[in-house]
């Protein structure tokens, strides 16, 4: 999945609208390759409605787990699973995200010494 956000930058509204349109087109183009639940999650209208308490935008990371499940006689068949638990933006609930069969990932702490900051998604 690709997510976009222009954290810390001033962006023209027209550019944000174009990014949103392009992202929606991208999601439609990969629909058949996504699990149904994942597609429904990323295309739900509430997912991008910052006033909806289910929206992940501005949530805070409570926990992040990288797990390497293994099978086989010597546990030689490995995969990656990343799970995170977010405290909702309104601090009245949690959101659990689970990514199975992760192929690649990159983590970076944007605010050294200040936690991870807000969970950002494009709209």
Above 90 in pLDDT, residue 83? yes
Q: What HEC string does 32-93 produce?
A: HHCCHHHHHHHHCHHHHCCCCCCCCCCCEEEEEEEECCEECCCCCEECCEEEEEEECCCCCC
User: What is the per-residue pLDDT for 66?
Assistant: 97
User: What is the per-residue pLDDT for 114?
Assistant: 72
Per-residue pLDDT band at 13 (split at 50, 70, 90)? confident
**What tens digit of pLDDT does each residue of 33-75 get?**
998 998 999 999 998 888 999 999 999 999 999 999 999 999 9
Above 70 in pLDDT, residue 77? yes
Domain limits of the chain?
A: 1-43, 56-108
Above 80 in pLDDT, residue 110? no
Above 50 in pLDDT, residue 19? yes
Strand order in the sheet with 94-99: 60-67, 81-87, 94-99
């Amino acid at each position: 999945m690709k997510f976009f956000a222009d954290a810390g930058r001033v962006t023209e509204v027209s550019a944000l609208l174009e990014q949103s349109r392009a992202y929606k087109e991208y999601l439609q183009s990969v629909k058949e390759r996504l699990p149904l639940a994942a597609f429904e999650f990323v295309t739900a209208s509430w997912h991008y409605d910052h006033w909806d308490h289910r929206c992940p935008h501005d949530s805070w990371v409570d926990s992040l787990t990288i797990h390497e499940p293994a099978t086989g006689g010597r546990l030689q068949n490995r995969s990656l699973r990343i799970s995170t638990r977010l405290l909702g933006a309104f601090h009245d609930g949690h959101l659990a995200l689970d990514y199975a069969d992760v192929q690649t990932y990159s983590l970076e702490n944007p605010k050294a010494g200040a936690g991870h900051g807000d969970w950002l998604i494009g709209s």
